[in-house]
Amino acid sequence: MGDRDAQQARTSAPVRPGVPGDPGQAGVIGIGLAAVLTFALAQGSWEWFAAYIGATLLAVIVSFYRLPPWAPGLRSAYAQSLVAYSLVVGLCVAIALAPVLQRSTWLFPMPGTRSDCRELGRYESLRTEAALGDLAGRDRAALAQAQDSQSHDAVADCLASTTTRWLPLYGFGAAVLVGWGALSIDRARTRRDADPTAPSPRRRG
């Protein structure tokens, strides 16, 4: 009876988040990577729904993923989990920022590229006018609308492709910041827990 009770207690013991071997950790990371990479490989302009997807995945990963206890060494479980966690968070941040980077001149200036994309938009407008020139004598409003639509799509696709090329840099930068911050916090917490003379934080009453 004692052995059976002990075995049941071991099997029914809850698994703490962040403990190595927790299947939920790999599941969260895998779902985040699959969803983000699927959307990142999609063609076309970066729309605001990408920001929603990136922010949602970021919230899921931050809420449900916990790093294991800090341990020294590059081959430790903590180091491996920290690298995976930082890269996935950086990727989600990059996806969430992509629509803003594409449209914001102060966050992502790229002045030469933006002027080239505008020239491409004017070229597409002229091409549309040449292809639909017979509409000028029938419906000038329809022709102008078609020109604006083609020009807008050309500029958006041009800016989106340039933004995609720069996204790895933004994602890697975010990953470095996240990794450095998490490492600093975990090391400080480990040292505080190991030092019995360290003052404990006071509770605000």
Where is average pLDDT lowest: 20-34, 113-127, 186-200?
20-34
- Rounded to an integer, what distance in angstroms lies between the CA atom of residue 97 and that of residue 113? 18
Give tens-digit pLDDT for 105-134: 777 777 677 777 877 777 777 777 676 666
Where is average pLDDT lowest: 22-31, 82-91, 98-107, 166-175?
22-31
Residue with tokens 């968070």: 89
Q: Looking at residue 172, what is its pLDDT?
A: 93
Q: Looking at residue 28, what is its pLDDT?
A: 64
Q: Looking at residue 135, what is its pLDDT?
A: 59
The pLDDT-based confidence of 19 (bands split at 50, 70, 90) is very low
Q: What is the mean pLDDT of residues 88-102?
A: 87
Q: Is the dihedral of CA 135, 138, 140, 142 positive or negative?
A: negative
Q: Looking at residue 176, what is its pLDDT?
A: 95
Where is average pLDDT lowest: 59-68, 146-155, 178-187?
146-155
- Rounded to an integer, what distance in angstroms lies between the CA atom of residue 51 and that of residue 167? 13
Where is average pLDDT lowest: 13-22, 38-47, 136-145?
13-22
pLDDT at 5 over 70: no
Phi, psi of 95 (to 5 degrees): -65, -40
